[in-house]
């Protein structure tokens, strides 16, 4: 794309908001004293969006990874993967230190050195997206010469196996394996995805939405979640719906699209930071003995999600202003470091 197309940023904005909302509901709201039916509805609605938010995120990431993966010398994908791995390590360490202050908060946090080593390698934390994306770049590079007609069916089969619960329950490792298909689909089918988005209209968006809701209902009622191939197929329908809706919003709803695009271009700091303010807020609310009522149950997930995202963006701006932007881009240090010969006068 010579000019930046807006709908992928809209999609990223929607996805990161849904990721934060999911954690607000599952790690905070469901455990609040007094939580009842309204919170259960929030949890159910969020669960139905599982095949959408992360697969769509990876599809967009794959669409914009082509240049790095296909570069002749391979330095671009290594640099990008190295940056992702470095950010993962930095923020796992930061989270481990900060979340030690909130021992009752329901998320994976290392309490021993061995647990920390596992989280940095085979048992990813809530930051697993970064680790997965680095691994996907490596897989995409290694398979760049393999035909798409081979790569995508194999990746789909791998996703189906992971979704069937075959992989040992090691943190979020199963999610890392399960979402490879959507990244490779975005990488390999970018032109098709762009044409699909450009042709999307209200009829297509509504039709796909109804198809997804019907399919999700059938999967839920019949308990088909772990049937081979069902979950990635459901993800394909959800992602198609997400692309159609986001493309339509980008073209036809500027007041909504503008803030979503703005957030979509700032997903990294929100992703790596959001668990920290959420954990501290959860600890504070519980220490105050707060009990919820139906009105608070209905409104608090939205309010807290907005507050957490706002805090993340403010913290990011503050950290960058304080010269700590390297926490979000460690390779920036290497790029900005002066050359050993910088400033020397050339010899005659």
The token duo for 7 is 């709908």
Secondary structure of the chain in HEC code, one letter for each residue: CCCCCCHHHHHHHHHHHHHHHHHHHHHCHHHCCCCCHHHHHHHHHHHHCHHHHHHHHHHHHHHCCHHHHHCCCCHHHHHHHHHHHHHHHHHHHHHHHHHCCCCCCCCCCCCCHHHHHHHHCCCCCCCHHHHHHHHHHHHHHHCCCCCHHHHHHHHHHHHHHHHCCCCCCCCCHHHHHHCHHHHHHHHHCHHHHHHHHHCCCHHHHHHHHHHHHHHHHHHHHHCCCCCCCHHHHHHHHHHHHHHHHHHHHHHHCHHHHHHHHHHHCCHHHHHHHCHHHHHHHHHHHHHCCCCCCHHHHHHHHHHHHHHHHHHHHHHHHHHHHCCCHHHCCCHHHHHHCCCCCCCCCCCC
pTM of the model: 0.91
Give pLDDT, residue 338. Answer: 52
What is the model's pLDDT at position 339?
A: 47
Torsion, CA 210, CA 213, CA 219, CA 223, rounded to 10: -150
Query: For each of the chain's 348 residues, which pLDDT tens digit applies?
Result: 444 578 999 999 999 999 999 999 999 988 888 888 999 999 999 999 999 999 999 999 999 998 889 888 888 899 999 999 999 999 999 999 999 999 889 888 888 889 899 888 888 899 999 999 999 999 999 999 999 999 999 999 999 998 888 877 777 888 899 999 999 999 999 999 999 999 999 999 999 999 999 999 999 888 888 888 999 999 999 999 999 999 999 999 989 999 999 999 999 999 999 999 999 999 998 888 888 888 889 999 999 999 999 999 999 999 999 999 999 998 865 554 454 444 454 444
Q: What pLDDT is stored for residue 4 in this prediction? A: 59
State the pLDDT at residue 333.
58
The pLDDT, as a whole number, for residue 2 is: 41
């Amino acid at each position: 794309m010579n000019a930046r197309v807006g709908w992928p940023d809209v999609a990223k904005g929607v996805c990161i908001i849904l990721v934060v909302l999911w954690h607000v509901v599952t790690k905070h709201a469901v455990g609040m004293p007094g939580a009842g039916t309204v919170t259960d509805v929030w949890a159910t609605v969020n669960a139905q969006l599982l095949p959408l938010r992360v697969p769509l995120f990876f599809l967009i990431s794959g669409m914009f990874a082509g240049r790095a993966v296909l570069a002749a010398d391979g330095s671009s994908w290594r640099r990008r993967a190295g940056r992702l791995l470095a950010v993962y390590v930095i923020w796992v360490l930061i989270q481990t230190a900060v979340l030690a202050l909130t021992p009752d908060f329901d998320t994976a946090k290392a309490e021993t050195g061995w647990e920390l080593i596992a989280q940095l390698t085979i048992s990813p934390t809530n930051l697993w997206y970064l680790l997965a994306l680095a691994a996907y770049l490596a897989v995409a590079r290694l398979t760049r010469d393999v035909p798409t007609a081979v790569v995508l069916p194999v990746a789909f089969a791998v996703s189906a196996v992971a979704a069937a619960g075959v992989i040992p329950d090691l943190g979020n490792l199963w999610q890392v394996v399960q979402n490879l298909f959507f990244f490779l689909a975005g990488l390999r089918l970018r032109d098709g995805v762009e044409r699909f988005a450009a042709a999307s209209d209200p009829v297509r968006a509504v039709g796909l939405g109804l198809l997804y809701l019907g399919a999700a209902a059938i999967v839920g009622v019949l308990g088909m979640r772990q049937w081979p191939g069902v979950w990635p197929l459901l993800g394909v329908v959800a992602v198609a719906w997400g692309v159609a809706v986001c493309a339509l919003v980008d073209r036809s709803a500027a007041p909504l699209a503008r803030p979503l695009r703005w957030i979509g271009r700032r997903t990294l700091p929100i992703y790596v930071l959001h668990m920290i303010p959420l954990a501290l807020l959860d600890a504070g609310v519980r220490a105050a003995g707060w009990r919820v009522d139906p009105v608070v149950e209905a409104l608090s997930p939205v309010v807290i999600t907005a507050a957490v995202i706002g805090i993340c963006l403010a913290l990011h701006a503050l950290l960058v202003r304080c010269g700590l932007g390297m926490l979000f881009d460690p390779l920036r240090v290497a790029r900005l470091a002066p050359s050993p010969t910088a400033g020397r006068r050339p010899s005659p």
